[in-house]
Structure 1
């Protein structure tokens, strides 16, 4: 468990530095915004004397404080670490224009941003911002997460057009699109797994999952056909890259738990709420 946590922290650190390089070397020099709340941070960093890293941390801070109470502990703690590291990277790494061509900068900036965020996602964290906003909203109301994120990113693109130029808005769209494609290629977050867990310690397993993973869990009573002993049957849906950490959580609560893992074709309804 400690070894996996160390690998996750290292992966998030590397991903955060890559995001900082993408912003300061490719996007910011051409007034190109990224997706999410960091795009708004870039915008304010360009039109005010404040550093983008400082603004990114300030914008995320209230969301992170709310997330500590509302979302899974491991997810939000990893997210806090990622947000702080991205903000530090933006503050420390100097702004330097690598290419004078904005289209190339949009593409390479988008690729590097997707690579960095993909690594953060694979480590079971997030880059904060709109991800937290969307998760908090879907926890209260049954909104589709993807549609919420797309709508909020649309606001970023529109703001880029009104505040800078519509060329900048188009470059921003290109960067956001490229970032999404690279994140999908690295993280494959769309691959969902269904876990069926048979355990004699149902409450302990349930509490461990709910405390650390932002996913719903369904519990059903069961009886062993051979032993006749009562068992709890838990069912939950997770992303593929949460599997190792979730298995550790289950075995921490019950080393003898039986776990069946199947790939899920489709999830209908809220994926994040229980």
Structure 2
């Protein structure tokens, strides 16, 4: 039974249309990156990235079926299957990326390798492919069936995305041993590692922050310095020492990773005995997020 809601749909503004258009331009560029890495670095040298892309490369080698045909033929049913749970935005952005990648794959000359150097293949092939896949994921889509299934399993059965990707790619790399040989399979694993590292960097981007927990007897001076000098938002928490039982003030804040070292130096300059706990934060949400972002951008421009 479907639950009826009275929440009205918001109409898209001119800004929304501009942002959406820019997103699809980026998706086009990302698809070009994926096709470039596959056609100029991986496929000509008998290397696979894992996932459906890897199966497509091996399928072309073994069955002599065009890579782009296998790539689209395997990804499309998976996309349709996962779309209902993952939503329209995911479906359309993934579909667009698939079609754009298919077009670019078809336009490239058949497997003209730009290099046969292992180190260049790993670096440039991995980085270019990672950029392409990472940008698509960053904008709410996916370009490989294994990623789609991984997200679907997480939403449906709470199975970790990394677990699904690991198991799926373990099968692909194992299969590549019989198609391209052990050495190529081993090098493919290194390419995959490079790709995953680049994807992580693209997803985190410049929005990665550090959360700070500060314990100091000079908390008032530290609060004043961080708010006035760095325009940080500070939350004052009341704590209690587990061993001493003494009441303590704990300061909490979030700072852009590029400004963390400056914040730390300010704290240590005021109180060299201050306890600072810093943790990586990859996502911040809520009303204060936009205020924090504006403050960070203004401060970085002045620096």
TM-score of the pair, normalised by structure 2 = 0.62
Q: Which residue matches 2:139?
A: 123
Q: 2: distance between equivalents of 1:101 and 1:156?
A: 23
* Number of residue pairs matched by the alignment: 203
Q: Which residue matches 2:148?
A: 132
Deviation at 1:100, TM superposition (A): 2.2
- CA 1:117 to 1:144, structure 2 compared with 1: closer, same or farther past 3 Å? same
Alignment partner of 2:49: what SS? coil
Deviation at 1:114, TM superposition (A): 0.6
Deviation at 1:49, TM superposition (A): 2.0
Deviation at 1:102, TM superposition (A): 3.1
Deviation at 1:168, TM superposition (A): 0.6
**Is residue 183 from structure 1 mapped to residue 199 from structure 2 by the alignment?**
yes
Q: 2: distance between equivalents of 1:260 and 1:50?
A: 53
Deviation at 1:164, TM superposition (A): 1.7
Q: 2: distance between equivalents of 1:152 and 1:131?
A: 9
Q: 2: distance between equivalents of 1:128 and 1:31?
A: 19
- CA 1:180 to 1:137, structure 2 compared with 1: closer, same or farther past 3 Å? same
Contact 1:76 1:125 in 2 (8 A): yes
Q: Which residue matches 2:160?
A: 144
Q: 2: distance between equivalents of 1:259 and 1:119?
A: 26
Contact 1:45 1:51 in 2 (8 A): yes
Q: Which residue matches 1:16?
A: 31
Contact 1:161 1:169 in 2 (8 A): yes
Larger Rg belongs to: 2
Superposed, 1:31-110 pairs within 5 Å as: 31-94=46-109, 95-110=111-126
Q: 1: distance between equivalents of 2:146 and 2:33?
A: 19
Q: Which residue matches 2:215?
A: none
Superposed, 1:225-236 pairs within 5 Å as: none
* 1:67-116 residue CA offsets vs partner (Å, 9 max, x unmatched): 23221211121011111111221121112111122342233211110111
Contact 2:82 2:149 in 1 (8 A): no
* 1:5-61 residue CA offsets vs partner (Å, 9 max, x unmatched): 101100000010111111111101111001321111111122222211111100011
Q: 2: distance between equivalents of 1:124 and 1:187?
A: 11
Q: 2: distance between equivalents of 1:152 and 1:105?
A: 23
TM-score of the pair, normalised by structure 1 = 0.68
Structure 2 gap ranges (5+): 1-15, 210-281, 293-303
Structure with larger RCO (C-alpha < 8 A, sep 6+): 1
Deviation at 1:63, TM superposition (A): 1.0
- CA 1:67 to 1:52, structure 2 compared with 1: closer, same or farther past 3 Å? same
Alignment partner of 1:98: what SS? coil
Contact 2:62 2:179 in 1 (8 A): no
Q: Which residue matches 2:185?
A: 169
Deviation at 1:191, TM superposition (A): 6.0
Deviation at 1:143, TM superposition (A): 1.3
Contact 1:27 1:106 in 2 (8 A): no
